[in-house]
Amino acid sequence: AQSVTQLDSQVPVFEEAPVELRCNYSSSVSVYLFWYVQYPNQGLQLLLKYLSGSTLVKGINGFEAEFNKSQTSFHLRKPSVHISDTAEYFCAVSEVDSSYKLIFGSGTRLLVRP
């Protein structure tokens, strides 16, 4: 079975500062990794994904993440955040099979202050 840990429930940061949202996972099999963003009263939007290949993945809105297999981590980063980045961010994994069923972390609320 897989599990996902997002240790930071909330990350406050000032506008234009860099940010890192941490994600660690546990799995006995190979996994795909995802980051989703959820704005208030909305569904989830895919930010980026790691399926295979290069461990540095670039996504939408200037976000990127790096897959570290030895540390079982998939941290999300952005060099300069905007007020509009304030949202809930979810890390998720799925087994490398055909199901694409997602296991989610508990989420990290990014709060960008002016």
Partner 1 sequence: EADIYQTPRYLVIGTGKKITLECSQTMGHDKMYWYQQDPGMELHLIHYSYGVNSTEKGDLSSESTVSRIRTEHFPLTLESARPSHTSQYLCASSDQNRGSFFGQGTRLTVV
Residues lying near partner 1 in the complex (CB under 8 A) are found at: 32, 34, 36, 41-46, 49, 51, 90, 98-107
Closer Cβ to partner 1, 41 or 70, answer by number: 41
Nearest-approach distance from CB 55 to partner 1, in angstroms = 17
Evaluated on CA atoms 85, 90, 91, 95, the torsion sign reads negative
Nearer to partner 1, 19 or 91 (CB): 91
* Per-residue H/E/C for 25-93: EECCCCEEEEEEEECCCCCEEEEEEECCCCCEEECHHHCEEEEECCCCEEEEEECCCCHHHCEEEEEEE
Of residues 36 and 74, the one with the C-beta less far from partner 1: 36
Compute the least distance from the CB of residue 18 to partner 1, in Å: 25
